[in-house]
Amino acid sequence: MQEVTQDEVVRGIASLNRQKAARPHGRNNDLLKDAQALLVPVVLGIANELLKGVQPPSSFLDDLIIPLQKKIMATRMQAILGGAIGELQQGFVHGRNMLKTVMMVVAILRTAQREPETSVGESRAIVLLDFKKAYVTVVHDFLFMVMRKFGFATDFVEMIQRLHQGTTAKFLVNGELSEPIPIQTGIRQGCPLAPLLFILAAEILRIAIQADHSLQRIEIPNGQGSRHKFQHLWTIEQSFWSKPRTSRK
């Protein structure tokens, strides 16, 4: 895998937001932004050591370096996701726009409004499926297997694995933090890699649904037993299924 460049580090720091909550060691993104001249060479060296397979100290997982490393890896990953993710997924894929999904849904609704006399069994319909606890349910081993199946380089997959090994969570109860609890599954909300990794895992579900013809038709409530073929419109954590009027059997 190509080494991290100074430009990638500088752009990664530039993309970080100021005045975020401090991490456990008392530092936040402002330190990286205000001391770039001093810290960029240090961060660059650490980033490339991590690429070589050096296991980061456990303290790094809660500090500034690892989130920045994830930001850099996410930028690289986003640039190549289009080759792995189907055209139906619009979110977080370079060159695609979530507005396309919104416009398609609005177009279906407006068309349905122009057909007030159409029976329930023949009318257009949109079904919204929301993934329950989407990020929390992703199993790490499955995710890394999916990345390999999609052709991601072994060293890149191992880099992502290292960034997720040894992660912990703490609970704040009555003002006191609990002891660290190891995280075995799930990806963290707010992590720059999280939505990209999730849509990779969800892509397997989309492929499975399209390949299973028994799942292509859904019975419409109050539709007198009519079953209709649906088309898919995927977003990050939701799946829209749209039924055209002409698909009635």
* 78-115 confidence digits (pLDDT tens): 888 888 888 777 777 888 877 887 888 888 888 888 88
The structural domains of the chain, with segments of one domain joined by +, span 6-84+139-185, 85-138+186-249
The pLDDT of residue 119 is above 80: no
Find out whether 126 and 108 touch, Cβ atoms under 8 Å. yes
- Where do the H-state alpha helices sit in the chain? 6-14, 29-34, 36-51, 65-80, 98-113, 140-149, 154-164, 194-211
The whole-number pLDDT of residue 108 equals 80
Find out whether 30 and 21 touch, Cβ atoms under 8 Å. no
Find out whether 124 and 111 touch, Cβ atoms under 8 Å. yes
Range name among 4-8, 20-24, 111-115, 185-189 with the lowest pLDDT average: 20-24
Range name among 5-19, 64-78, 182-196, 207-221 with the lowest pLDDT average: 207-221
Residue at token pair 């994830």: 70
The whole-number pLDDT of residue 69 equals 83
Q: CA nearest 74: which of 169, 184, 188, 183?
A: 188
**CA-based end-to-end distance of the chain:** 52
Taking only the tens place, the pLDDT of each residue in 162-201 is 888 777 777 878 888 888 888 778 887 778 888 899 889 8
Strand partners, 217: 229
